[in-house]
Amino acid sequence: MVRSICPYCAVGCGQKVFVKDERVVQIEGDRDSPISRGRLCPKGAASAGYVNSPLREQKVKYRPPHGTEWQELELETAMDMIAERVIGTREESWEDVNGDGQPLRRTLGFAVLGGATLDSEENYLIKKFFSAAGAVSIENQARI
């Protein structure tokens, strides 16, 4: 059993995740939590169904420009291609200074969106790295 937190809303209910043979078999409320006292809403109660959903994708999918179907792609290859895209777009769209000669040191060529379902540690690395890369359009569900 592993202690976890519900991935849906921001109440932050405690969850207990039961694992058997490297598979999540049951997720239920954590009675120790002062927030939820072991209770869960329908979404929280469906968490095991969510992590085990048959609709979950497990492989990278790739669609080339103008392609009509998904193609397979190795994860390593995909990561490498994405790195190339980021570097290339950044290079093309780099803005060093504005019209007044003030520093900008940025790119608006690519944007990043997401994070409200991600962990804080993940958001931290995303903000840190993409800011260092000069990206400014880093946005989040929190805007919505």
Site for another protein in 45-104 (CB under 8 A): 45-51, 53, 55-66, 68-70, 73, 75, 78-87, 89, 93-94, 96, 98, 100, 102-104
DSSP letter at 26 equals E
Q: How far apart (Å, rounded) are the C-alpha atoms in residues 31 and 12? A: 13
Residue 48 has a CB neighbour count (10 Å cut-off) of 17
Among 7, 16, 79, CA closest to 44: 7
Q: How far is the CB of 77 from another protein (least distance, A)?
A: 10
Q: How far is the CB of 102 from another protein (least distance, A)?
A: 4
Contacts of residue 3, defined as CB under 8 A and 6 or more positions apart, other chains included, come to 14, 15, 16, 17, 30
In the region spanning residues 3 to 32, those forming contacts with another protein, defined by CB under 8 A, are: 3-15, 17, 19, 22-24, 26-32
Q: How far is the CB of 69 from another protein (least distance, A)?
A: 8
Sheet-wide strand order for 14-20: 2-5, 14-20, 23-29
Q: How far is the CB of 30 from another protein (least distance, A)?
A: 8
In the region spanning residues 107 to 136, those forming contacts with another protein, defined by CB under 8 A, are: 107-129, 131-136
Residues in binding contact with another protein, number by CB under 8 A: 121
